[in-house]
Amino acid sequence: MPETPKCTDEILVQKSLEDVTFFGELVDRFEQKLKYYILRISSFSEMEAEEILQEVFVKVWKNLREFDGSVKFSSWIYRIAHNETISAFRKSQSRGEKEQVSLDEELFCIPSGELDIPTSLDQKLTAPLVHRVLNGLPKEYREVLVLKFLEDKSYEEISDILKKPMGTVATLINRAKKSFRDSAERQNITF
């Protein structure tokens, strides 16, 4: 396969439609990010997340011709991952499977300088505490915080992924930050 380090995702999509070997580059770019995203927004085990991820890439491949470029490819693929995770959760609920699993605390490490709850949160709050506080939040709040602060997505990208207006996304993020702060205080975690 020709070198593609400087190709945008959208260019790789076009090249993938002509030559399947380029699809491997898209998989390489998104595999770890999407796996962590699935683990962060769900209670699935790593093995279950990998199964969901496999389904995500199958759907992406099947629908690659439908990608129109009106949204960023990363938003499009995260939306598919989001939908597949929700679908898998619903299936597991209908089968009565347990929701609780232990997650790698490393998944909840916050990139330096990213989260303003308060600004020094990443220095004072360790991964297990972030994990505990996030897990105590309503699903919609956990999703937007993960997308904004752990996945580093813009408001527009979050809007595309969750299929919600940007104003709603902004409101959700503000409410989620307040809920995060309140939950941390209730757990005697001070900033």
Maximum Cα–Cα distance across the chain: 56
9-94 adopts what CATH topology? Rna Polymerase Sigma Factor; Chain: A (1.10.1740)
User: pLDDT digits over 7-17, tens only?
Assistant: 899 999 999 99
Share of the chain above pLDDT 70, in %: 79
User: Cα(12)–Cα(67) distance, rounded to whole angstroms?
Assistant: 12
Q: Tell me if the domain spanning 105-186 has CATH number 3.40.50.450.
A: no
User: pLDDT digits over 146-187, tens only?
Assistant: 999 888 899 999 999 999 999 999 999 999 999 999 998 998
User: Cα(150)–Cα(188) distance, rounded to whole angstroms?
Assistant: 23
Q: What's 58-119 look like in SS3?
A: HHHHHHHHHCCCCCCHHHHHHHHHHHHHHHHHHHHHHCCCCCCCCCCHHHHCCCCCCCCCCC
Does the pLDDT of residue 117 top 60, yes or no? Answer: no
Contact between 146 and 180 under an 8 Å Cβ cutoff? The reply is no
Mean pLDDT, the chain, integer: 83
Does the pLDDT of residue 138 top 80, yes or no? Answer: yes
Residue ranges, CATH 1.10.1740.10, the chain: 9-94
Residue ranges, CATH 1.10.10.10, the chain: 105-186
Tokens of 5: 């380090």
- For residue 19, the model assigns a pLDDT of 93
State pTM to two decimals. 0.72
At 97, the pLDDT band (50, 70, 90 cuts) reads low
Does the pLDDT of residue 106 top 70, yes or no? Answer: no
User: pLDDT digits over 24-46, tens only?
Assistant: 999 999 999 999 999 988 888 99
